[in-house]
Amino acid sequence: MTPPAVVLSESELRRLTERILEAAGVPREKVALVTDPLIAANLRGVDSHGVQLVPHYVEQIEAGDVEPHAEGHVVRESGACLLYDGEHGLGAITSSICCGHAARLALQFGVSLVVAREATHFGIAGYWAQKISSAGLIGMALCDASPTVPPWQGRVGRLGTNPISLSVPHPGGRGWLLDMATTTAAYGRLEKLQLEGRTTIPPGWALDREGRPTTDLATALGGFLAPLGGYKGSGLAVLVEILCGVLSGGAMATEIRGIRQHGRYSRVNHTFLALDVARFMPLEEFYQRMDRLVAEIKSAPPADGYDEVLVAGDPEWRAEDQRQQHGIPIPPGPWANLVRTAERLRVAPPKIQ
């Protein structure tokens, strides 16, 4: 019988994560910044990008794959465009700086594009798109990743999960928020199932080493992720690679390393776009128009088997409300990994009743 999940409050999980990261070498004044996207992912039910990643972050720091004190630098700024070099610093640190630049330039020019190279894993893309939209801007965040996905009709990894996120401003802070990989599932979801002791995955998630669809988890972990919607997902992944890898002048495709590979810098690239809504209409009018659009979409009668029509962001906000009230469940496998990492760094995990 599988043991139950460990349930921690947001504050307990945040405190544990911060202590582990600080013990691993993250500067004290930066640990909250690195922790926040991870906790946000768990609160929103995107557990594959939550504290499950902490052991991997620690291993990257210990292997020298990440420079925990690096903040990066501006390579070039020209009008509304900015190129940033992350100097292999923690993705949350450099992404926070880049989002600040994106907002600053968009408020000055109406639109901005900030591209970062030599960066590392930044968590859920939606966190950064929303960080931009919190300034009253439409925010977009893109990221390329290690080549775990064959191009359409291929059987060797050439592309990453390459997520795309877009967030619109909203007076309550919870506007329309799209956050999607260009694969059917992220690798972290496979890892989460493995840690939970599962052996199968849904159809369409992954391919074996020959590029054939598989529902066997072990085969999937040794194979590849499947592009979302076949050739369409493959095309979107290339689009992200162009705007991140090609445009940054940094690493591309097979030159990028994943957070589970050690001995070399990750060299991922991030792209942030910001659009000043006020250049088109007053924010209040935009809010009203967005509310009207969402209401019209939701007014569609639900299909058989569904109770309602949802829009992007709805599942995450509902999960956040639930978990803020009742705690964040951590499955036994990820919890065991987190505890092992904490104890190795002489950090005492919270006592579980």
Amino acid 289: pLDDT: 97
Residue with tokens 């590979």: 261
Write out the two tokens for 93. Answer: 């640190």
pLDDT digits (tens, 9 = 90+) for 298-336: 999 999 999 999 999 999 999 999 999 999 999 988 999
User: CB-based contacts of 67: which residues, under 8 Å, 6+ apart?
Assistant: 87, 88, 89
Angle between helices 332-344 and 54-63 (to 10 degrees): 40
Structural domains in the chain, CATH included, are 1-63+327-353 (1.10.1530.10), 68-183+227-280 (3.30.1370.60), 283-316 (no CATH)
Question: What is the DSSP code string of 86-115?
Answer: -TT--HHHHHHHHHHHHHHHHHHHSEEEEE
Q: Rounded mean pLDDT of the chain?
A: 94
pTM: 0.92
Q: Which tens digit of pLDDT belongs to each residue from 102-143?
A: 999 999 999 999 999 999 999 999 999 999 999 999 999 999
Q: ∠336-223-180 over CA atoms, to 5°?
A: 75
**pLDDT digit string, tens, across residues 226-253:** 898 889 999 999 999 999 999 999 999 9
353 has a pLDDT exceeding 70: no
* Strands 137-143, 213-214: pairing kind: unpaired
φ, ψ (nearest 5 deg) of residue 338: -65, -45
- Express each pLDDT in 251-264 by its tens digit: 999 999 988 889 89
Instruction: Report DSSP state, residue 254.
Output: G
CA distance 244 to 168: 21
Mean pLDDT calculated for residue range 65-77: 97
342/224: higher pLDDT:
342
Is the CB of residue 140 less than 8 Å from the CB of residue 166? yes
Does residue 37 have a pLDDT over 70? yes
* Mean pLDDT (whole number) for 333-346: 95
Q: Which pLDDT value is given to residue 63?
A: 95
Q: What is the pLDDT of residue 186?
A: 79
Q: What is the reported pLDDT for 352?
A: 78
Query: Each residue of 2-17: pLDDT tens digit?
Result: 678 899 999 999 999 9
Rounded mean pLDDT, 23-46 = 97
CA distance 269 to 142: 8
pLDDT band at 351 (very low <50, low <70, confident <90, very high): confident
Distance of CA 4 to the CA centre of its chain: 26
The residue type at 120: T
Residue 102: burial class (beta carbons within 10 Å; 0-12, 13-18, 19+): buried
pLDDT digits 0-9 by tens, 134-186: 999 999 999 999 998 999 998 899 999 999 999 999 998 888 999 999 998 87
What pLDDT is stored for residue 2 in this prediction? 64
Residue 143 · residue 270 · CB < 8 Å: yes
Q: Find the Cα–Cα–Cα–Cα dihedral 352, 46, 113, 169, rounded to 10°.
A: -90
pLDDT at residue 1 in the model: 54
The C-alpha angle with vertex 73 and arms to 71 and 75, in degrees rounded to 5, equals 155
Helix boundaries (H) for the chain: 10-24, 31-43, 54-63, 91-109, 125-133, 187-195, 217-221, 231-241, 247-248, 283-298, 314-326, 332-344
